[in-house]
Homo-oligomer: A and B are copies of this chain.
């Protein structure tokens, strides 16, 4: 009986409420073979344009559903998605500065998950708060844009540290604004070494092919999961 003592249970990680619902979102998406990405950016970095270019490049073979996060009850962005024939749900955060897992859960209930292979979540335009709320998506993607300036990784490190992919949008504006690409990339590398990065322009189309090819590969892996 000497060895029959109590074992101390070790709980490896305590999920908070948001993370628990995020995990449920992920299980639902995996069960339906839907690959999912969460797009975060500053206001005006070009989230909606980038999403539109992406879903148009994937169509008609691969269908995409979109959850649009907005702080106001305007459907400007969601209307652009449905105009190209893909299902979209708008989530009005009622002034809140980010989406959370509960909001995405509600959004998923309104989407025809069996008709899509890719879910794109357009988060609220904000470089700070969205970084703190996991949604359960497979990848977190940050869109930086050239006219924002090259010091953004240094000034908003949390979001750069946490993402899986970086899109550098509006590279067509490089000739017209001061932007030191080496300084920018140095900051990114410091926070998130080896981060997968795609420089693109949604205006000229530059760089979008590489991104779309990469994404197609990820969607295919999602189908086989």
Binding site for B on A (CB under 8 A): 42-44, 70-72, 74, 76-77, 95-97, 124-129, 132, 145, 147-149, 151-152, 154-158, 170, 172-173, 176-177, 203
Contact = CB atoms under 8 A, between A and B. Distances in A.
Contact of A76 (B42, B76, B154, B177): B154
B42 A97 contact: no
Number of copies: 2
B158 A128 contact: no
Contact of A155 (B42, B72, B149, B170): B72
B154 A74 contact: yes
Binding site of A, secondary structure by majority: helix, strand, loop or mixed?
loop
Contact of A156 (B71, B129, B176, B177): B71
18 contacts: A42-B43, A42-B125, A44-B145, A44-B147, A44-B149, A44-B152, A71-B158, A72-B154, A74-B155, A95-B132, A97-B126, A97-B128, A125-B127, A126-B127, A126-B128, A129-B129, A145-B147, A173-B177
